[in-house]
Amino acid sequence: MLLKSLYPKLTNKTMIITASILLILGQILNVICPHHLFHVNQIMLLTMFLLEFMVIKHIQAGTEELKQSIKESSVFHSFISRIDCSITSEIISFALVAFFITTMFAVGCLEPTITGIYGGALGAVVFYIGIQAYIHYLSLLQFSFNLKNIKINDYSFYYPALTKWMRELSKEFKFIEKWFITLGLMYITIYAINIPQDFIATAGLPLNMFLASWAGIFILFIFAVPFLFSIRKDSLKTLVCKCKENSLNHLERKLATVPNSTEQDRYAFLIKSVSGTENYPL
C-alpha cells in the first residue's frame, strides 16, 4: 500500500489537524470560486477521510495480530503472499481513481475550477484509501479460500473453532464488512447527489463513462456484497470442518487400537465432544 508506511506515524490528533486544515482551505477556495453543493460534499468527504483512517489503522492492527498468531509456516507463507501489497494492486487503485475522478469532471459533477480541483483531489485520496481496503478484503478472502488446499496442523485439536488465528481472521472479516457497508453507502450517496440534472443530455464518451462508473459502483458495493460475504462464510466454515475432520480421523484411529474398554470410552467421549463443536470460528 502506497500510504502504508504513513499510517503507523499518523495519530488521531494529526488526522484531526489535517482534516481541519483541509476544511479551512476548502472554505477559503469556495469563497474565491464557489462550487455547487460544496459544503455537503466537503463534510461527507472529510467524514469519510477520518472514518477510513480509523478503519485502516484498525485493519493494520488486526492484520499484525493475525500474523503473530499464525505459527504454521505453510499457512504463514500463504498469508504473507496474499496480504503483501503488489504493484498490480497499486496500478488497479490508481486506474480506478483516475477513471472515477475524470468521469466526475467529464459529466459536470466537478467543475474545472480551483475549488473543483480541490474536491477532486480530496475525493481521489478518499477513493484510493477505500479501494486499498477493498483489495485487502479480497486478499483475505483469497487466503481463506485457499486454506482448503493446505495441510493444517496448528489448530485447537479438540475445539477447532476456538483456534486463535482462525478467530482473529473471522474478527477482521467482520470488522471490514461492517465498515464496508457503511462507507459503500456513503460512496453511493456522494456520487448520486452530484449527478447533474441534465446529464442524460450529455452524449458520447462522457455519458458512456458515467454509465460505466455507475455500473462499477453497483457491482462493487451492491451486487458483490452478498456474494463476497457468502464466500467468506463458506471458506471459514470449510476450514473449521476440515480441522474437525482431521481431529476425528485421528481419534477414530486411536479408538481402533486401544485394547481396554476404559480407553475406548474415553476416545468415544472425545469423538462425540469434537463432533459437537461449532463449525465456524467463535
Tens of pLDDT, residues 138-167:
889 998 998 888 888 888 989 999 999 999
In order of 18, 188, 200, the CA distances from 208 in angstroms are 36, 18, 10
| CA 280 centroid distance within chain | 20
Binned at pLDDT 50, 70 and 90, residue 225 comes out as: confident
Give the separation between CA 154 and CA 262, rounded to whole angstroms: 29
Task: Report pLDDT for 80.
Answer: 83
Question: Tens of pLDDT along 236-277?
Answer: 999 999 999 999 999 888 888 877 888 888 888 888 998 999
Give the separation between CA 270 and CA 70, rounded to whole angstroms: 26
Q: Is 149 helix (H, G, I), strand (E, B) or coil?
A: helix
Task: Report pLDDT for 203.
Answer: 58
Q: Minimal CA–CA distance to 135: which of 267, 4, 273?
A: 4
Residue 125 lies in a domain: yes
Please give the model's pTM, rounded to 2 decimal places: 0.85
Residue 263 lies in a domain: no
Q: What percent of the chain has pLDDT over 70?
A: 93
Residue 219 lies in a domain: yes
In this structure, what C-alpha cell is assigned to residue 15? 488526522
Task: Report pLDDT for 202.
Answer: 58
215 burial type by CB count under 10 A (0-12 exposed, 13-18 middle, 19+ buried): exposed
- Number of domains forming the structure of the chain: 1
Residue 265 lies in a domain: no
Residue 248 lies in a domain: no
12 burial type by CB count under 10 A (0-12 exposed, 13-18 middle, 19+ buried): exposed
Binned at pLDDT 50, 70 and 90, residue 9 comes out as: low
Which ranges of the chain would DSSP assign to H, the alpha helix?
Answer: 12-32, 38-69, 73-83, 87-106, 114-146, 164-193, 205-218, 224-257, 261-275
Q: What is the mean pLDDT of residues 92-119?
A: 87
Residue 258 lies in a domain: no
Task: Report pLDDT for 26.
Answer: 92
Task: Report pLDDT for 210.
Answer: 77
Task: Report pLDDT for 184.
Answer: 81
Q: Minimal CA–CA distance to 104: which of 193, 195, 25?
A: 195
Q: Which domain holds residue 182?
A: 7-242
Q: What is the mean pLDDT of residues 111-118?
A: 90
Residue 269 lies in a domain: no
